[in-house]
Amino acid sequence: MESRQQPKFFRFYNHKSPFKALLVMLVFSASASLSSGQTDLSLAQAHEYALKNAASVKTAKYDAEVAQLQTEELIGIGLPQISGSIQYQNFITLATQVVDGSFFGAPGQELRLQFGTPHNMTLGLSASQLLFDGSWLVGLQASKAYAELQRKNLSKSEIEIKLQVSQAYHLALVGAKRVELLNQTKAVLSQMLDETKKFYDAGYVEEQDVDQLQLSLNEIENGIVQAETGVRLYKEVLKFTIGMPLQEEINLTDKSEDLIIAGDPAGATYAAENSIDVQLTQNGLVMQELNLKNQKAKFLPNAGLFYNLQSQALRQEFNFFDTSKPWFAPQLWGFQINVPILSGGSKMKSVQKAKVEVQRMKDMLEVAKNGASLEYSKAKLEYDVAISNYDNAQKSLALAQKILDKTNIKYKEGVSSSMDVSISTNQVLSAQQTLANALQSLMDAQAKLKKALNTL
């Protein structure tokens, strides 16, 4: 704001009206809130946001919720079942029966008789209770196991989305780190270029020296533009991954070095049983064992109780609301037992098939355990290599920077040429790129190792 604009504000603010002073404060407060429309986002906050909003996690949550409701639905089948009914019948023409007249003292004649009443109403109440059904009991266990399987799938989705979020976050951090390193080199080279231009104006150096430094500076500025564009792109990817609206502005609060120091998982203990893939396979084995149990249960009988109550009104006229007229209430109860006797051997074949599937899942469980161990070993090896590469990259950058500093001194003393400075600058740029790649590889390797340890 220019100084000539300030007196208007101060004259308005210093007015004796407290309402105007309060209005100014509210306006500036609102302006500040609008101008700071960024969302600060640490890696932990990004994980938390993704667990609530990522599409894949939402889908897994829906599946887990449906599985739980299916369990409750199946439980309801074993509880008492009660239903009511109401039926009204209006016989426009009653059914006619032809009978021998000898039964009514008129031998040799046919009599046409109509039985019943034209208006009938029946109120019914029925109840049933399942006493025993082996398939239902096993099905109830299977539904609970299935609900647990979906909860495990939800956990797997959460682990996977955390890894994806970490990788996207790392890319943005590495891009920002590269911008920082390039700006440092740009500052040094810009200062050198300014000094060289002065030497050129004084006639101490040739124009080629200025052009060579300007060329190197242009390459750095191009690299900065590319790196800044990459950071914006990686932030868009991060927002898409966590389920955040793309128009939202975010500010990454974590630093790459802090994540490496805080996230060292080297001391964690590995156990194959902690792998979510192993847990899912174990749950699959439970499902197959329950399927085998269900096939065997089909050889067992099932039994249930039932009770029926009806109230009937048989009228010549539609006067069912006349309480003086009679209603007839037959009722009954009983039980039913179904015993399977012969199925042509199909049930036995179903049992044998279920046994094969159980054995298949046992083999798959061993494969899953070995695969989890292999994943951990690979992740640990990549993590160890990434640490070594990162340390070497830091040393190489420090050495390249040292060479560039010495070359700058020699250039000022006239011992080295601008070409030497350009070569040293390119070495620094190459070392910076190597360090950025090593940093990203280290953070990604750390995230994969955490995933293998189930500590992500």
Local confidence pLDDT in tens for the 456 residues of the chain: 334 444 333 333 344 444 444 333 434 444 443 444 689 999 999 999 999 999 999 999 999 999 989 888 888 888 899 999 999 999 888 888 877 777 777 777 787 777 788 899 999 999 999 888 888 889 889 999 999 999 999 999 999 999 999 999 999 999 999 999 999 999 988 998 898 898 888 887 888 889 988 998 999 999 999 999 999 999 999 999 999 999 999 999 999 888 886 655 656 688 899 899 999 999 999 999 999 999 999 899 999 999 999 998 888 888 888 888 888 888 999 999 999 888 888 889 999 999 999 999 999 999 999 999 999 999 999 999 999 999 999 999 999 999 999 998 888 888 888 888 889 999 999 999 999 999 999 999 999 999 998 888
**Is residue 205 a part of any domain in this protein?**
yes
**Is residue 27 a part of any domain in this protein?**
no
Over the range 279-300, which residues count as b (16 or more CB within 10 Å of their CB) and which as e?
bbbbbbbbbbbbbbbbbbbbee
**Euclidean distance between the first and the last CA atom of the chain, given in angstroms as a whole number:** 48
- The reported pLDDT for the residue numbered 21 is 41
**Is residue 54 a part of any domain in this protein?**
yes
**Is residue 318 a part of any domain in this protein?**
no
**Is residue 68 a part of any domain in this protein?**
yes
- The reported pLDDT for the residue numbered 270 is 87
State which residues form the domain around 219: 40-77+145-300+370-453
pTM for this structure?
A: 0.76
CB 49 within 8 A of CB 88: no
Helix (H, G, I), strand (E, B) or coil at 104: helix
CB 264 within 8 A of CB 446: yes
**Is residue 381 a part of any domain in this protein?**
yes
**Is residue 58 a part of any domain in this protein?**
yes
Cα–Cα distance between 169 and 237 in angstroms, integer?
9
**Is residue 176 a part of any domain in this protein?**
yes
Within 8 A by CB and 6+ apart from 382, the residues are 441, 445, 448, 449
- The reported pLDDT for the residue numbered 37 is 65
Number of domains making up the chain: 1
CATH number at residue 381: 1.20.1600.10
